[in-house]
């Protein structure tokens, strides 16, 4: 192990034309959750060419690459997600999606490319002492029954063990190349709630003979606005948003059914439990007060993403070595989005970071048809992962 030659940005520069080309190729050929056959094959082929032991089909379409160097017994895992979203791309880029209704609108093409860039460098230099595991994960965007869950259920950490695991996501709206992280809770739990209201349909001119589910649904929307403001400790953070409300087909008919769908976000397991209790209780009683009935399907999604202290301090230290302290914010704000990497952090200590994607054009929000990953971040991410591995496996 040569400690004087840890990876720098210049160390990976010569590899970047190839890695950026890979990123844009993946962008051109996006694949949805559990459909990542072409992407997985590309990843596996490159890893084998660079000297990694490769196993495919982990958790469906996941790929794991392993590389051993020296005689060290420590091991580290690094994860990148591979799936795209069902969105029609509108970037106008020369490498825009060739598949109608599918695009890499969250930057997973960039995440995969950054880790491949590190893999090529580490396969060539092997400037570490221990075992490296690269987890290329499907279906982060699934929301439920996600790729991280399936890989773990497929024995990920038993078959390909690591002492600590790390992951990263781009962050539009922050300066390109800025590292953002924090100890403890970092990203929110995300739960989905479906509420089916059943009333009594009737003529729009005779509402006294019906039980109007639209009125019930409207009252439920209003009462839900009190769940956070009047039940959650003001020092805690939570969000309850009604995303859909559907009812009726004709202007002069009172329908029998109405349907609402909610997203519920929280950063604390106790708050998460409180939100569920109050939502179910309030919705049930609100419907009963109108003489209606409800069915509530409360689906627990991704848990709170919690970074462990030691690994977060270590990741911040490596980032400062790479890009300087001004480009590292290790007390960044809570992020109300969710990430299935949280399941991996329930199994192993580790850290999830975010990497500024830029402002202006690079500031376009993810899950937007105009979004694109910033290729200036490919060498930054690649060098960071390589240096993190070298430093951890010293």
Query: pLDDT for 210-251, tens place per residue?
Result: 999 999 999 999 999 999 999 999 999 999 999 999 999 999
Residue 324: per-residue pLDDT: 97
Q: Domain spanning 3-187+304-392 has what CATH number?
A: 3.40.630.10
Residue 3: per-residue pLDDT: 57
| Ranges of the chain whose pLDDT falls below 70 | 1-4
Whole-structure pTM value? 0.93
Domain ranges of the chain: 3-187+304-392, 189-300
Q: What is the pLDDT of residues 5-51, one digit of tens each?
A: 899 999 999 999 999 999 999 999 999 999 999 999 999 999 999 99
Q: What residues act catalytically?
A: 83, 140
Record: fold of 189-300: Alpha-Beta Plaits (3.30.70)
Residue 363: per-residue pLDDT: 83
Residue 205: per-residue pLDDT: 97
Residue 317: per-residue pLDDT: 98
Residue 1: per-residue pLDDT: 58
CA 296 from chain center: how many Å? 26
């Amino acid at each position: 192990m040569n400690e004087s030659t840890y990876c720098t940005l210049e160390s990976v520069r010569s590899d970047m034309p190839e890695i950026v080309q890979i990123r844009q190729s993946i962008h051109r050929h996006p694949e949805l959750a559990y459909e990542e056959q072409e992407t997985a094959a590309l990843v596996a082929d490159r890893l084998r060419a660079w000297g990694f032991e490769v196993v495919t089909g982990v958790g469906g379409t996941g790929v794991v690459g392993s590389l051993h160097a020296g005689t060290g017994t420590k091991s580290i895992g690094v994860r990148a997600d591979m799936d795209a979203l069902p969105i029609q791309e509108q970037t106008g880029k020369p490498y825009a999606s060739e598949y109608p209704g599918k695009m890499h609108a969250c930057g997973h093409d960039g995440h995969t490319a950054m880790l491949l860039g590190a893999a090529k460098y580490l396969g060539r230099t092997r400037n570490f002492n221990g075992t490296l595991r690269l987890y290329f994960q499907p279906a982060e965007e699934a929301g439920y029954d996600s790729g991280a869950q399936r890989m773990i259920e497929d024995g990920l950490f038993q078959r390909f063990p690591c002492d600590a695991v790390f992951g990263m996501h781009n962050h539009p709206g922050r300066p390109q190349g800025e590292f953002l992280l924090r100890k403890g809770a970092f990203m929110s739990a995300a739960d989905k709630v479906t509420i089916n209201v059943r009333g009594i349909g009737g003529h729009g001119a005779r509402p006294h003979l019906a039980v109007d589910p639209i009125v019930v649904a409207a009252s439920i929307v209003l009462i839900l606005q009190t769940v956070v403001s009047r039940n959650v400790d003001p020092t805690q953070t939570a969000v309850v948003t009604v995303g859909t409300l559907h009812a009726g087909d004709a202007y002069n008919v009172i329908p029998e059914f109405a349907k609402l769908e909610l997203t519920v976000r929280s950063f604390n397991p106790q708050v998460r439990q409180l939100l569920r209790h109050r939502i179910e209780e309030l919705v049930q009683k609100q419907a009963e007060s109108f003489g209606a009935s409800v069915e509530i399907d409360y689906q627990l999604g991704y848990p709170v993403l919690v970074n462990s202290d030691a690994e977060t301090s270590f990741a911040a230290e490596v980032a400062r070595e790479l890009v300087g302290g001004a480009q590292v914010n290790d007390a960044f704000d809570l992020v109300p989005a969710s990430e299935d990497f949280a399941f991996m952090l329930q199994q192993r200590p580790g850290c999830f970071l975010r990497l500024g994607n830029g402002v202006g054009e690079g500031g376009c929000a993810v899950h937007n048809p105009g979004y694109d990953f910033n290729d200036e971040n490919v060498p930054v991410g690649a060098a960071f992962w390589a240096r993190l591995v070298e430093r951890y496996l010293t």
